[in-house]
């Protein structure tokens, strides 16, 4: 039966041959000494992108022995969700063509050393992991065979800090700037007419409330990534909750003339953490408002399905395939360098803390729909 692939070659070298290759590499005292003399994570790959040798630093990070690693590919070692879902493992998923690690490896196979950054969404023991890596692949010859020296540096902490800081200050400055503009207008009103404009006063109140919430949101996200976030379950009544959520967006429409509609909402009560639920649903709706064009509709739907409730937000815009697989990555955004947390936090809060499932579909003819499925009661 022919092996399947959407991108790179699915062919693999037999385990016995890989073990034989490893023994030859280990026979070189100089090579082993060099690879073990650094804390950098190193692996040597064969022509089919399989691990032949890994240094101790890598084995300790992955908490694996050399026998388990041998013959696997990098994405499989890191529990990449695309490698897990691919027809023939790492490199064969349709999204793998956007992978920085695979791009570097394929370049090395052509004789070119390449260094890339690589974002990997992983799943380990039912827990989401987000890897931000700096990778480098270099070709080399040994005993008449071609290999790739592949180094990996975990830059997750640096990326996390960078993105959180950029996003935090971007959002805070935007909201504070708007509040300042309204307060300046109010000041002029008071000076000229000695009267308080009710709408302006309300806008200042709403904006400062958002400012406080954004500070709390960033603190909450940091706590979630450190596994220090505690959920507070409370009863939530639908559709009252959804109507109140939609009203927030009606107050802050910008240049776009879109319509935000609730097409259906079952009436019932469920139990969840309202603060985290707000975070997920507001991001779903916010993404839709930013993606849609003028005169387009954004449709919100809420259905009870057995012991689950499914929220969905639909807009008419298609997400390009090259972007789709990166949607939930921590530091990826199509909206510029000051973004990249919203969809990542949807997965983090919706799945790891609310015990649900977050996903999306996007088709050129039908547009894009984001979904959040939650249990009626968190157990």
Q: What is the pLDDT of residues 131-144, one digit of tens each?
A: 889 999 999 999 88
**SS3 sequence of 118-172:** EEEEEEECCEEEEEEEEEEEEEEEECCEEEEEEEEEECHHHHHHHHHHHHHHHHH
pLDDT band at 73 (very low <50, low <70, confident <90, very high): very high
Quick one: 256 and 310 in the same domain? Answer: yes
Q: Would the CA dihedral through 240, 341, 375, 84 be positive or negative?
A: positive
Quick one: 269 and 351 in the same domain? Answer: yes
Task: Give the mean pLDDT of 54-72.
Answer: 89
Instruction: For residue 302, list its beta bridge partners.
Output: 265, 311
Residue 10, domain member (yes or no)? no
Residue 148, domain member (yes or no)? yes
Whole-angstrom distance, CA of residue 118 vs CA of residue 47? 21
- Domain of residue 239, residue span: 232-379
Region for 355 from its dihedrals, namely left if φ exceeds 0, alpha if ψ lies in -120 to 50, beta otherwise? left
Task: Give the mean pLDDT of 18-41.
Answer: 85
CATH code, domain with 303: 3.30.565.10
pLDDT of residue 344: 84
The C-alpha angle 262, 263, 265, rounded to 5 degrees, equals 75
* Domains: count for the chain: 3
CATH code, domain with 180: 1.10.287
pLDDT band at 247 (very low <50, low <70, confident <90, very high): confident
Backbone φ, ψ for residue 362 (5° rounding): -150, 120
Residue 55, domain member (yes or no)? yes
Whole-angstrom distance, CA of residue 149 vs CA of residue 133? 16
Alpha carbon 268 to chain centroid distance?
A: 31
Q: What is the pLDDT of residues 258-271, one digit of tens each?
A: 889 999 999 999 99
End-to-end Cα distance, the chain: 44
Q: What is the pLDDT of residues 170-184, one digit of tens each?
A: 777 777 777 777 777
Whole-angstrom distance, CA of residue 131 vs CA of residue 226? 15
Burial class (CB in 10 A: 0-12, 13-18, 19+), 212: exposed
The CA radius of gyration of the chain, in Å to the nearest whole number, is 25
pLDDT of residue 215: 76
Quick one: 372 and 239 in the same domain? Answer: yes
pLDDT of residue 337: 43
pLDDT of residue 30: 82
Whole-angstrom distance, CA of residue 331 vs CA of residue 32? 35
pLDDT of residue 327: 84
Q: pLDDT higher for 220 or 299? A: 299
CB 139 within 8 A of CB 111: yes
Task: Give the mean pLDDT of 220-237.
Answer: 84
Quick one: 215 and 265 in the same domain? Answer: no
Residue 181, domain member (yes or no)? yes
């Amino acid at each position: 039966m022919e092996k399947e692939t959407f991108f790179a070659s699915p062919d693999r070298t037999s385990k016995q041959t890989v073990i034989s290759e490893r023994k030859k590499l280990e026979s070189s005292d100089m090579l082993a000494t060099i690879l073990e003399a650094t804390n950098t994570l190193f692996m040597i790959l064969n022509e089919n992108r399989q691990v032949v040798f890994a240094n101790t630093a890598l084995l300790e990070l992955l908490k694996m022995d050399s026998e388990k690693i041998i013959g696997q590919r990098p994405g499989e070692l890191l529990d990449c969700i695309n490698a897990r879902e691919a027809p023939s493992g790492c490199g064969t998923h349709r999204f793998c063509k956007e992978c920085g690690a695979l791009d570097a490896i394929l370049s090395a196979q052509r004789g070119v050393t390449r260094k890339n950054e690589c974002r990997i969404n992983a799943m380990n023991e039912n827990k989401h992991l987000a890897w931000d890596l700096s990778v480098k692949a270099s070709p080399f010859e040994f005993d008449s065979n071609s290999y790739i020296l592949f180094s990996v540096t975990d830059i997750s902490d640096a990326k996390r800090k960078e993105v959180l800081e950029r996003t935090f200050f971007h959002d805070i400055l935007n909201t504070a700037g708007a509040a300042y503009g309204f307060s300046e207008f109010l000041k002029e009103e008071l000076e000229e007419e000695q009267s308080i404009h009710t709408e302006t006063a309300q806008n200042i109140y709403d904006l400062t409330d958002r400012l406080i919430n954004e500070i709390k949101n960033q603190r909450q996200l940091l706590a979630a990534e450190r596994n220090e976030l505690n959920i507070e379950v409370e009863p939530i009544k639908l559709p009252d909750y959804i109507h109140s959520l939609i009203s927030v967006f009606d107050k802050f429409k910008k240049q776009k003339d879109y319509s935000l509609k609730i097409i259906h909402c079952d009436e019932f009560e469920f139990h969840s953490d309202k603060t985290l639920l707000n975070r997920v649903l507001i991001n779903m709706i916010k993404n839709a408002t930013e993606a849609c064009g003028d005169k387009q509709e954004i449709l919100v739907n809420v259905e009870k399905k057995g012991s689950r409730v499914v929220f969905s937000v639909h807009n008419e815009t298609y997400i390009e395939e090259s972007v789709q697989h990166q949607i939930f990555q921590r530091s990826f955004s199509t909206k510029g360098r000051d973004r990249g947390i919203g969809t990542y936090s949807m997965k983090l809060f919706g799945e790891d803390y609310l015990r649900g499932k977050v996903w999306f579909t996007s088709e050129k003819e039908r547009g894009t729909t984001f979904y959040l499925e939650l249990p009626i009661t968190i157990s």
